Amino acid sequence: MEGHLHSHEMDRALKARLKLSVALTGVIFIAELVGGYLTNSLALMSDAAHVFMDVFALSLSWFAIYISEMPPTEKRTYGLHRVEVFVSFINSSVLFLLTIFIFYEAYKRLLTPAPVESAGMMIVAVIGLVVNLIVALWLKHYAKSDMNIKSAFMHVVGDAAASVGVIIGAVIIHYTGWFMADPIISVVIGLIIISGAYQIMKDSSHILLEGVPKDIDLNKVVDDIKASKGISSVHNLHIWSICHNVYALSAHLDIVPTERWRMGEIFNEVNERLAGNHHIFYTTLQAECSGCDNSDIFGKIAHKERGHNHRDHLH
């Protein structure tokens, strides 16, 4: 009971920090966008786009905690966990388009360098760096044990690095008057954005396509299942993600006849091993399957033919 209360208090504290982090980074996003426009700094506006990634990542982390508390419904038996994955995919697609625009503007400025007000550029970038460091320190403790928070934490650290790049550009422009530094830094930040967006799109699409979670070794899962005495083979095995850090598994287990009397015990052993070794807490295990091919570990999914139904099959 104490552990449950402690976990609940940690969730409340984390949600409070995430809300404040979203608010602070949101202010920085607006400040950099306006500051970039007023100082004519493409690098600062590019960093604003990167900060937008932080706002989104932090909001998604908060949203993931919120929706995890919502009960499933008759229409959504998994709840709304997949929403965060879908939104991640859409967000990464938008960021790709935004980065193309940044590259286009940088190309024009490389051909015709535009004057930049370096002092204002540096002030806004320094404020952005300070806020990012504060948010990173807030989340560092939680990032060690929570994949969801770790993702947001890495976004914030990446933006802190981008802010350092903008500050370096402002210093170069201030002391040398070399305005080319601004579009060059904006291209570097654009590459950081597109790299992060690509990874988000790749991970999100993998989940939406029911792929095996990237940190799951399927062969080790099979070995752990077969480690229980009485299981002779595993087939129709499927492992997928409900959302970024919630995994599910279904499988058919062939249990030798002499061990079928302790089927419940075998299932409990397998479930505990899957949870402890692979972070898989949602399992559906079926014993014996007379119509299955034991040599086919994955089990090919057959599409229902048009006009074909179960009654036709029986006749």
| Look-up of token digits 């015709």 | 112
Which numeric CATH code is attached to 218-301? 3.30.70.1350
Output the six-digit token pair for 167. Answer: 């500050």
- C-alpha separations of 24 from 143, 157, 246, 261 in Å: 19, 15, 29, 60
Measured between alpha carbons, how far is 14 from 8 in angstroms, rounded to an integer?
10
Which numeric CATH code is attached to 2-208? 1.20.1510.10
Give tens-digit pLDDT for 122-169.
999 999 999 999 999 988 888 776 666 777 787 788 888 889 999 999
Task: Please report the pLDDT score of residue 293 as a whole number.
Answer: 60
Task: Please report the pLDDT score of residue 2 as a whole number.
Answer: 41
Output the six-digit token pair for 274. Answer: 């899957």
Task: Please report the pLDDT score of residue 185 as a whole number.
Answer: 93
Amino acid sitting at position 233? S
- C-alpha separations of 97 from 92, 155, 204 in Å: 9, 19, 17
Measured between alpha carbons, how far is 29 from 24 in angstroms, rounded to an integer?
9
Check: CB of residue 203 under 8 Å from CB of residue 86: no
What is the reported pTM?
Answer: 0.74
- C-alpha separations of 40 from 48, 180, 189, 254, 275 in Å: 13, 13, 16, 68, 53
Please state the domain extents for the chain: 2-208, 218-301
Task: Please report the pLDDT score of residue 147 as a whole number.
Answer: 60
Q: Could you read off the pLDDT tens digit of each residue along the chain, which spans 315 residues?
A: 444 434 455 567 777 888 888 999 999 999 999 999 999 999 999 999 888 888 888 887 787 777 777 788 888 888 887 877 887 788 788 888 888 989 999 999 999 888 999 999 999 999 999 999 999 998 888 877 666 677 778 778 888 888 999 999 999 999 999 999 999 999 999 898 888 888 888 988 999 999 999 889 999 999 999 999 999 889 889 999 988 778 999 999 999 888 888 899 999 999 999 999 999 999 999 986 555 565 666 666 666 555 545 444 444
Task: Please report the pLDDT score of residue 217 as a whole number.
Answer: 94
Phi, psi of 175 (to 5 degrees): -90, -20
Measured between alpha carbons, how far is 154 from 285 in angstroms, rounded to an integer?
36
Where are the extended beta strands (E) located within the chain?
Answer: 231-243, 246-255, 280-287
Domain 2-208 identical in fold to domain 218-301 = no
